[in-house]
Amino acid sequence: MEHYEANKLRFAKSTMKRMGVAVDTTACMKVSGNSMDPVMPDGCTVGVDTSTTQIKDGDIYAIHYYGQLQVKCLYRNDDGGVRIRSYNDSEYQDVHCTQDELDQLNVLGRVFWWSVLC
């Protein structure tokens, strides 16, 4: 994830503690595109816990996959690979990352929060 200075989001320490997320391992990013519609529409902001990179089936993660920064639901496959799922399944099919392709998948962290501002 690239670091850049932009608008800052403030989270209460009690909120971070309740979510089990440390301030120094938190990053925020904007979602681009409609692959996570309707839950996370284009332009929404997500909070990412960069200390949580172990996949828990069905959780949402920020990932680099073949060089593209994405926010997706991840699932472990029985064959050792990972299924990458978008909420907008009418336009986006699941992507199956095989065990041989895992070097192309970098889990940056688990999404613990998101906000949609209209």
Structural domain of 62: 13-115
Q: Under a CB-based contact definition with an 8 Å cutoff, are residues 79 and 101 in contact?
A: no
Mean per-residue pLDDT of the chain? 92
* pLDDT for residue 11: 84
CATH code (residue 44): 2.10.109.10
List the one residue out of 68, 23, 69, 73 whose CA is nearest residue 47: 23
**Cα 22 → chain centroid:** 17
Residues 31-68 have pLDDT tens digits of: 999 999 999 999 999 999 999 999 999 999 999 999 99
| 2 in any annotated domain | no
* Residue 12: band (very low, low, confident or very high) from pLDDT cuts 50, 70, 90: confident
What percent of the chain lies above the pLDDT cut of 90?
81
pTM given for the model = 0.91
Q: What is the mean pLDDT of residues 17-42?
A: 93
Q: Is residue 96's pLDDT more than 90?
A: yes
Give the phi and the psi of residue 77 in degrees, each rounded to 5: -95, 155
| 1 in any annotated domain | no
DSSP string across 33-83 = SSTTTTTS-TT-EEEEETT--S--TT-EEEEEETTEEEEEEEEE-TTS-EE
Q: Is residue 6's pLDDT more than 70?
A: no
| 80 in any annotated domain | yes
Number of domains in the chain: 1
- Between 62 and 7, name the one with better pLDDT: 62
